[in-house]
Amino acid sequence: MSLVNSVEVQNLCRRVTDRGGELTILDNISLNAHPGEAIAITGSSGSGKSTLLGLMAGLDVPTSGSVHLMGHSLFSLDEEGRAALRARHIGFVFQSFQLLPNLTALENVMLPLELSGQPALEAATRMLEKVGLKDRLRHYPRTLSGGEQQRVSLARAFVVQPDILFADEPTGSLDEQNGQIVIELMFRLLKEQNATLVMVTHDPAVAARCDRQLRLQGGRLAT
């Protein structure tokens, strides 16, 4: 196992200015996620959970503070460099699935491999079989149920064998049965690949599956 933390966040702040003045969304957040560890970030709506996840993945830029992924200083890189780092090390699962509607399930899962110049067809097919969708390879997202779409998004996230998985409310759009199926698959794949998980969730049962729970309250980590 690597001695480098998968994720290191130091003194992270995010502020925005509107007509009412300056609003602090995140205030001096520091945390570490170790290789293979699963962390749940909980808190009420508006507490800054999704903002924190986006900053940790380099999808947004903080007002101040730093994030290191796999030992790399995220915000010392330009946007292209951050994208390249994500392509090498990170998988994403979103509440709204974020599948491309004009691509089949197989093509959606092949896409991140193709973008990085890797052989895609066999690996994507195997990963869809792992999540129980071997009979849905040629189906488009609109013909799949919500649970099936989220399983496609899991396959897309894990097909690149990420070091870190960022998951934003992965069961938020699913009923209880499909949510449980997705969570079981996600944790099984995490274990197989020894990937680190940082997950935002409102669901206490899902959060309880993780090694640690961190609660955001008013943009700060609750103690």
Q: What pLDDT is recorded for position 3?
A: 47
Cβ within 8 Å of residue 170, ≥6 positions away: 93, 94, 95, 150, 182, 183, 186, 199, 201, 206
Count structural domains, the chain. Answer: 1
Q: Structure pTM? A: 0.92
Q: In the predicted model, what is the mean pLDDT of the chain? A: 93
Does residue 116 fall inside a structural domain?
yes
Q: Of 144, 145, 143, 166, which Cα lies nearest the Cα of 154?
A: 166
Domain annotation covers residue 210: yes
Higher pLDDT, 23 or 110: 110
pLDDT over 80 at 62, yes or no: yes
Cβ atoms of 35 and 194 closer than 8 Å: yes
Containing structural domain, residue 99: 35-63+78-218
CA atoms of 21 and 61, how far apart (whole Å): 20
Find the angle CA(86)-CA(67)-CA(91) to the nearest 5 degrees: 25
Residue 25 lies in a domain: no
Q: Is residue 50 part of a domain?
A: yes
Instruction: Check whether 151 has a pLDDT greater than 70.
Output: yes
pLDDT of 223 > 90? The answer is no
- Hey, CA dihedral for 150, 123, 163, 118, is it positive or negative? negative
Q: What does the CA dihedral 76, 81, 85, 87 come to, rounded to 10 degrees? A: 160
* Both tokens assigned to 179: 């949510």
The pLDDT score that the predictor gives to residue 5 is: 74
- The answer to whether residues 39 and 212 touch, using CB atoms and an 8 Å cutoff, is yes
What angle do the packed helices 121-130 and 146-158 form, to 10 degrees? Answer: 130
The enclosing domain of 200 has a CATH number of 3.40.50.300
In a domain, 169, yes or no: yes
In a domain, 223, yes or no: no
Within-domain flag for 15: no
Q: What is the pLDDT of residues 123-140, one digit of tens each?
A: 999 999 999 999 999 999
Q: Does residue 11 fall inside a structural domain?
A: no
Average confidence (pLDDT) over 158-178: 94
CA distance linking residue 167 with residue 185, whole number of Å = 13
Question: What is the pLDDT confidence band of residue 2, given thresholds at 50, 70 and 90?
Answer: very low
Q: Average of pLDDT values for 110-116?
A: 94
